[in-house]
Amino acid sequence: MIKTPEQIALEKQRERLTKRFHKACADYGLIADGDHILIGLSGGKDSLLLTELLGRRAQIYVPRFKVTALHVRVRERDYHTDLSYLQSFCDEAKVPLLVRDVEISSPRNESHSSPCFLCSWFRRKELFNVAQEIGCNKIAFGHHRDDIAQTLLMNLIFQGAFATMPPMLQMDKMPLQLIRPLCLIDEADIISYAAMRSYRKQTKLCPFEHVSSREKVKTLLDQIKALNPEALDSIYGALTNIKTDYLPNCKL
């Protein structure tokens, strides 16, 4: 059967993403024999791709590991994902899906914290709870290379710290590791693949999506990439090439 140009393009893009995914898993030791990995499935393009790639990888014999996806809904946040679509997507990827509802329990805390922080905090807390409940030893997030660069810029600008999200993080107070298998993949490649695969978008987006500090830093990063198309390579490389010297004649 002759493949269409669209099918050929899809296969090439899938192969490109899969290679970057496998490289991240190998370079950072993200997956080991006997793992049970819980995927944080928000329903966005990044977590959908993560579910697809981990589901496919789990079908390969070595290493042997299990994956489960968890979709957490926050009652106070007015944005929604089509659960029937998530279920059919997970069925296709051969990944079991769990759905949990949580609520922001302290309105007084909400008045002192950003809505994005609270939403993220309660959703992540539920991920930790469910992971331990069903015996997972790792939680996988769909953060890509742009997310890592954005977090670095946010920490530099707002915290005065040269820090970002690592590919793997061992939690101090619980026997869990956080992994980011998409850490070597550019967001532009995910957007392209999501369009080719016809990933379905959320039925109602977060009302704070375009007013957060991260969204503003994302715009800043886009401007940096326009200035230098290789900016992501430079930023990512800087994370493993930190220099402590300085120019002694510079006025501070």
Query: How far is it, in rounded angstroms, from Cα 178 to Cα 171?
Result: 7
pLDDT at 75: 74
Average pLDDT estimate for 184-206? 88
What would the pLDDT profile of 95-147 be if each residue is shown by its tens digit?
Answer: 999 999 988 765 444 444 566 667 788 889 999 999 999 999 999 999 999 99
CB 139 within 8 A of CB 165: no
Q: 138 has which bridge partners?
A: 37, 177
Domain 5-238 is found in CATH 3.40.50.620:
yes
The answer on pLDDT for 230 being more than 80 is yes
* pTM, full prediction: 0.86
- Domain ranges across the chain: 5-238
